[in-house]
Structure 1
Amino acid sequence: MSRIEICALASGSNGNCYYVGNETEALLVDAGLSARQLQLRLAEKQINPSKLKAILITHEHSDHCRGARVLGKRLGLPVYLTKKTFLAMRKAVQPDTPRWFEANQEFQLGEFTVFPFAKQHDAVDACSFRISYAGKHVGVMTDIGEACERVQAEFSRCHAVFLESNYDEGMLMNGPYPYFLKQRVASTQGHLSNEQACMLLKEHAGEQLHTILLSHLSGENNTPEKAAETFDAYRQNYRIELTSRHASTDLIVI
């Protein structure tokens, strides 16, 4: 039986990288840690780098693309991104082997079908991804200011989702960030709160959805306990796991 394995190699404002693989091939979404650190985490999970076919980049912020150039060069991997994202990246991290995609246009990478879709975030051409194989769909949906109709539609198709649960509203508003930064995080171009992520699950989950990995938790404006507690009422129906800023998650079979 065909299967997909997923894990978050890193998830948070200090670095993001998400792994989606099958028996023979795999993709990375984002490479926001150093290439060395990402290679160590692949080794920890006993993931053979030769399975990797490409790195997909969601947007130009450094916690999503910091290691893409070096990792792509070391492993001989193409890096897929939009031209606008490439031009917005710091030149030092622009990949040597860029391949272009456009938002809302599906493309094939080996055995995987990749659908990048536009989202609301304060980047020039930010995209999330739905990655499909053998009739199963995995969403990577972080760095989203609000769950627009496109996000809702793609979420409803997924069997598993890396879902942003970035901040607790009380912690953000009463926390150390300056006012302008609080406004940015909570804006429609910022991030999803725990409650917003939970509402997306409540209102738009498809019948096939069974696994949610709460992702991109803020280190200053959230805690794993608060994020997990927000979703407690849904644990009877879904497998709900936390990702970490400091370590990889277990490999989960879809």
Structure 2
Amino acid sequence: MSKLEICALASGSNGNCYYVGNDQEALLVDAGLSARQLQLRLADKGIDEAKIKGILITHEHCDHARGARVFSKRLQIPVYITKKTFLALGKANQPANVVWFDPDKSFQLGEFDVHPFSKSHDAVEACSFRISYNGKHVGVMTDIGQACERVKAHFSECHAVFLESNYDESMLQNGSYPIFLKDRVSSALGHLSNTQAYELADQFAGVNLSTILLSHISADNNKPEIAEAVFHPLRKRFRVELTSRHASTEIFQL
């Protein structure tokens, strides 16, 4: 079997897309960029788009789903989505080729085993994913208000994880966001702070975890160097990398 490889094509409030693949097949988690931009970023990383067998959608927010309809049509690939999330997209954004999945019920997508799980976020049926191939497990864990027991359990299985490190508590509270938005971001239905993400990684990493990609870093309430500094004590245990809203990461092999 070929090696598992991962890449954050984009990660942030203006668009999210995470690539998981091997030599023959691949999938995307979310398609929050335009179809054109997705194709450009895949080409820039030398990823053959013909390998992509499907797109997994975590929830209906536009920074996770805006490119799914057009991109799936161009590549003639299905979009894996829950029925409630599909309806929440609205008719203009609903892809034509869909495969339904149920939260917390695993399924197979090509050579990959996909384990969706419900999470705490302000969307109708938000899910995260743990994706498995050849004994390796990759988690895509962003847009999480709090680390519930499901998150902790799936996190402990991972060899690599795209982990939300969205905001710095001080920057959020002292920043320009209105009170209601500050409350929303920091609530149990919002996002993980740098500190919350660190605590999850420090306390619930399994013996196999080797790589953490700090993801969905806020442009207004965080800085990459702040998130990186919070995670500095874990660098003795794990490889810690930053993702970006502006460009793709390198391709990491597991």
TM-score (norm 2): 0.99
Which ranges in structure 2 are unaligned for 5 or more consecutive residues? none
For residues 58-207 of structure 1, what are the structure 2 equivalents within 5 Å? 58-207=58-207
1:9-52, Cα deviation, whole Å (9 max, x unpaired): 00000000000001100000000000000000000000001100
The one-letter code matched in structure 1 to 2:156 is: S
CA RMSD of superposed structures (Å): 0.6
Question: How far apart are the structure 1 equivalents of 2:205 and 2:235?
Answer: 14
Please give the secondary structure, in 2, of the residue aligned with 1:226.
helix
Q: Could you tell me how far 1:98 is from its partner in structure 2? A: 1.1
Question: How far apart are the structure 2 equivalents of 1:17 and 1:172?
Answer: 25
1:105-143, Cα deviation, whole Å (9 max, x unpaired): 000011100010000000000000000000000000000
Please give the secondary structure, in 2, of the residue aligned with 1:209.
coil
Q: Could you tell me how far 1:91 is from its partner in structure 2? A: 1.8
Q: 1:3 matched to which residue of 2?
A: 3
Q: Does 1:33 align with 2:33?
A: yes
Identical aligned pairs, as a percentage? 69
Please give the secondary structure, in 2, of the residue aligned with 1:80.
strand
Question: How far apart are the structure 2 equivalents of 1:195 and 1:87?
Answer: 34
Q: 2:208 matched to which residue of 1?
A: 208
Question: How far apart are the structure 2 equivalents of 1:23 and 1:88?
Answer: 35
Question: How far apart are the structure 2 equivalents of 1:84 and 1:47?
Answer: 31
1:124-178, Cα deviation, whole Å (9 max, x unpaired): 0000000000000000000000000000000000000000000000000000000
Q: Could you tell me how far 1:2 is from its partner in structure 2? A: 3.4
Q: 1:42 matched to which residue of 2?
A: 42
Question: How far apart are the structure 1 equivalents of 2:205 and 2:117?
Answer: 18
Question: How far apart are the structure 2 equivalents of 1:239 and 1:19?
Answer: 18
Question: How far apart are the structure 2 equivalents of 1:10 and 1:92?
Answer: 23
Q: Could you tell me how far 1:90 is from its partner in structure 2? A: 2.7
Q: 1:219 matched to which residue of 2?
A: 219
1:69-98, Cα deviation, whole Å (9 max, x unpaired): 000000011000000000001321111101
Matched positions, count = 254
Q: Could you tell me how far 1:213 is from its partner in structure 2? A: 0.2
Question: How far apart are the structure 1 equivalents of 2:129 and 2:49?
Answer: 21
Which ranges in structure 1 are unaligned for 5 or more consecutive residues? none
The one-letter code matched in structure 2 to 1:158 is: C
Please give the secondary structure, in 1, of the residue aligned with 2:236.
coil
Q: 1:251 matched to which residue of 2?
A: 251
Post-superposition, which runs of at least 4 consecutive aligned residues in structure 1 deviate over 6 A? none
The one-letter code matched in structure 1 to 2:20 is: V
Question: How far apart are the structure 2 equivalents of 1:43 and 1:25?
Answer: 16
Question: How far apart are the structure 1 equivalents of 2:89 and 2:142?
Answer: 19
Please give the secondary structure, in 2, of the residue aligned with 1:235.
helix
Report which stretch shifted further, 2-11 or 58-67. 2-11
